[in-house]
Structure 1
Amino acid sequence: MSTIGDLGEFGLIGRLTRRLRPGRAVRLGPGDDAAVIAAPDGRVVATTDLLVEGRHFRRDWSGPYDIGRKAAAQNLADVVAMGARPTALLVGFAAPLSTPAAWAERLYDGLDDECRAAGASVAGGDLVGAPEVTLAVTALGDLGGEPPITRSGARPGDVVAVRGRLGYSAAGMRLLAEGRDGPAELIEAHRRPQPPYAAGEEARALGATALLDVSDGLLQDLGHIAAASGVRIEVDSRAVPVPAILGADGPRHVLTGGEDHAFAGTFPADTVLPPSWSPVGVVAEGAGVLLDGREPEVAGWDHFRA
């Protein structure tokens, strides 16, 4: 079995780029010094994330295809959270030279498939040898002539609502850490999140005043809206959906677990929300986030906290 070291940089580039399918926004894909992406709006939404082996994923828990889908999903979700349509990813891939070439190919298959699910494509990137697998992913998006939906627009009186699964990834990670093999749905949710990519367009059509991707825990991420908007967000735990599959720790997973990449938004009080959006609280005057009238003891994930 050949390794990426056997293929060399340019052999690996050729092997990987042949697996990618350019999307409609890519005017010039891999092969030149830079890619060319259409920006009909005249503005580009851009976001980037780092994924480091042992910190953001474990190769004994997730295969390369799932790692690729997860890496793409968490960046594409950030673009959607701005009310934009994802157009392209740029991927920096670092790995030990002993990494099997087939492993890298499956990683890029995952990146490519997740992009297609969101209407985007991998347009380019970089490769380098490194002691551990690291991915640096930049996602681009187009606003289609509309203003971005930011975190700073929430106003007192707005309703807070969520769209997508919450708590599944955290529950799956706990199962893996305990060496358990089920429920499979939870483990797969940790390995491969399923952001509801339609949420950005839905939120805009509903008149969302603020929107974000829930990546570090619902309470913590709502705190970002509260801080940016200069308001207080009051969450009613009884209103937050807690599926039975999450078990006894379901409420904690739903409120503080990250990496499901659901969406949380604020909407004018008179908004008629469709069933896909669950109201979980209200926006009030003040600061911070309250859970059932009290400050929560634990809010979510912090990348700089041990």
Structure 2
Amino acid sequence: MTDQPPATLAGLGEFGVVGLITRGLPLGADVRVGPGDDAAVLAPGASDLVVTTDTMVEGVHFKRDWSSGLETGRKAVAAAAADVEAMGGRPWALVVSLSAPADLPVTWLRFFRQGVLQECELAGAQLVGGDTTRSRDVVVGVTVLGRLDGPAVTRAGARPGDVVAVRGRLGWAAAGLAVLGRGFRSPRAAVAAQLAPEVPWGAGEEARAAGATAMIDVSDGLLADLGHVCAASGVAIDLDSAAFEVPDVLQTVAAATGGDPLRLVLTGGEDHALAATFAEADVPAGWRVVGRVVTPPEADTRVTVDGREWEGVGGHDHFGA
């Protein structure tokens, strides 16, 4: 009689779960000690080190009814590693903490591992360790280490006279969420963007090399995130609505849901595009100029659109109503 492989994490056991995730990981020469010991040992070389962490909670950031294990793995890495890009660095190594119910299917875990490794390859990073524990829902924590070969690009360097430029997609993930929330799976391109965003990998380092004065990962919505740049830099930003690309897929979703496609672009989060400020002559190819940094009236640091205050919320607030 042939033994059947375990179908759930309970049957696989803790060490089996760890082994499934870490077995045969591709590790570079800069990893002195990889998975299997109490901690990884890395050799960062002469670069500065960038560190960031991000958490995804089932029912808050993803739903297993919507997202496969592969999509969840990709999204977890993308959301965390995009913050390294926003500092002008490049993702290098990451550790993943996975909390999951004992009855989670092993097939989900296999696809999760595949998604993590796929996004690591796109980002240029390597999985070097992590942790597992039992929980009621799936919770994924990703800590990313990045390399920085020059001064970090923070949120605090924007200057009046700079232009604002973006790289990557805006509004796609929000459109996908609107579709999924109504029980549909089409347009598929929008749904795919919500389940596993397309980060413009390499664009952060490109922006730093070109002289970006400030930069941020667009995770909560462009208006909300540029608001952080305004506050940190002591400036205001005025966006030009006519400068934004509003693709057909966003117009389709907005028409079907009774919404405004521009609102999706300006307030939708989770695409993990990059927004940066530059001297006008320094904007790299492939970046879209969408506004300008201006001197705030009476220290009123805020983002306006076409010279007017935006009506409604500017993006997602994790603890908002």
TM-score w.r.t. the length of structure 2 is 0.92
Question: Residues of 2 paired with 1:89 and 1:39: CA distance?
Answer: 13
Q: Which residue of 1 aligns with 2:263?
A: 252
Which SS does the other structure have where 2:84 is aligned? helix
Superposition map of 1:168-247 within 5 A: 168-247=172-251
Q: Which runs of 5+ in 1 are unaligned?
A: none
Aligned equivalents of 2:108, 2:30: Cα separation in 1: 28
What is the CA-CA distance between 1:19 and the residue it aligns to? 5.3
Give the C-alpha shift of residue 85 in structure 1: 1.3
Q: CA deviation at 1:205?
A: 2.5
Contact map agreement 1:25 1:120 (CA 8 A) in 2: no
Structure 1 distance, partners of 2:103, 2:113, is 17
Select between 3-12 and 227-236 the one with higher mean Cα deviation: 3-12
Describe the shift of the 1:208–1:130 C-alpha distance in structure 2 as closer, same or farther (beyond 3 A): same
Measure how far apart 1:151 and its partner are: 0.6
Q: % of aligned pairs identical?
A: 53
In the alignment, the residues of structure 1 paired with residue 68 and residue 169 of structure 2 have an alpha-carbon distance, to the nearest angstrom, of 22
Give SS of 2:231's match.
helix
Q: Which runs of 4+ in 1 moved over 6 A?
A: none
User: Is the Cα contact below 8 Å between 2:90 and 2:202 reproduced in 1?
Assistant: no
Quote the Cα distance in structure 2 between the aligned partners of 1:205 and 1:46.
20
**Partner of residue 302, structure 1:** 317
Could you say what the CA RMSD is over the residues aligned between the two structures, in angstroms?
1.3
Match of residue 267 from structure 1 = 278
* Paired residues of 1:25 and 1:87 also in contact (CA < 8 A): no
Contact 1:19 1:108 in 2 (8 A): no
Shift in Å, 1:206:
1.9
Contact 1:211 1:266 in 2 (8 A): yes
Residue 160 in structure 1 maps to residue 164 in structure 2: yes
Q: Specify the alignment match of 2:294 in structure 1.
A: 284
Structure 1 distance, partners of 2:72, 2:43, is 27
Quote the offset at 1:20 in angstroms: 3.0
Matched, 1:86 2:96: no
Larger C-alpha radius of gyration, 1 or 2? 2
Q: CA deviation at 1:245?
A: 1.5
> Is 1:167–1:254's contact at 8 Å kept on the other side of the alignment?
yes
Count of residue pairs the alignment pairs up: 304
Q: Give the aligned partner of residue 120 of structure 1.
A: 125
Counterparts of 1:95 and 1:268 in 2: how far apart (Å)? 47
Please give the alpha-carbon distance, in whole angstroms, between the structure 1 residues aligned to 2:111 and 2:189.
21
Cα displacement string for residues 238-291 of structure 1 (whole angstroms, at most 9, x for unaligned residues): 1122112201432111000000000000001333542x1110100011111111
Per the TM alignment, residue 234 of structure 1 is displaced from its structure 2 partner at its CA by 0.8
CA contact (8 A) 1:20 1:109 kept: no
User: Per the alignment, in what secondary structure is the counterpart of residue 5 of structure 1?
Assistant: helix
Contact 1:41/1:143 (<8 A) preserved: no
Mapping of 1:19-58 within 5 angstroms?
20-41=25-46, 43-58=48-63
1:54-97 Cα deviation digits (max 9, x unpaired): 00000001100000000000111111111111111111100001
Contact 2:97 2:132 in 1 (8 A): yes
Residue deviations 1:148-170 (CA, integer Å, cap 9, x gap): 11110100000000000100000
One-letter amino acid of the structure 1 residue matched with residue 307 of structure 2:
G
CA distance in structure 2 between the partners assigned to 1:200 and 1:23 by the alignment: 22
Q: Which amino acid aligns with 2:309?
A: E
After superposition, the C-alpha distances for 1:169-220 in whole angstroms (9 at most, x for unaligned) are: 0001111111122111111111110101121122123210011110000010
Find the residue that maps to 2:38 and give its secondary structure. coil
Distance 1:13 1:81 in 2: 31
2:76 match: 71
| Alignment partner of 2:20 out of 8, 15, 20 | 15
State the secondary structure of the residue aligned to 2:242: helix
Please list every run of 5 or more consecutive structure 2 residues that lacks an aligned counterpart in the other structure.
1-5, 255-259
Change (3 A) 1:188 1:25: farther
Identify the range of structure 1 (177-186 vs 122-131) with the bigger mean alpha-carbon deviation: 177-186
Q: 2 CA distance for matches of 1:38 and 1:225?
A: 32
